[in-house]
Amino acid sequence: MDKIDRKILTLLQKDATMPVAEIGRKVGLSTTPCWRRIQKMEEDGVIQRRVAVLDPAKVNVGVTVFVSVKTNEHNDAWMRKFSAVIDEFPEVVEFYRMSGEVDYLMRVVVPDIGAYDAFYKKLISKINLTDVSSAFAMGQIKYTTALPLDFAIVVDDDK
Rounded average pLDDT over 89-109 = 97
Torsions phi, psi of 13, nearest 5? -65, -30
Is the pLDDT at 159 greater than 70? The verdict is no
Give pLDDT tens digits for 47-80: 999 999 999 999 999 999 999 999 999 999 999 9
Give pLDDT tens digits for 104-143: 999 999 999 999 999 999 999 999 999 999 999 999 999 9
* pTM reported for the whole predicted model: 0.89
Instruction: Give the pLDDT score at 121.
Output: 98
| CA 103 – CA 70 distance, rounded (Å) | 5
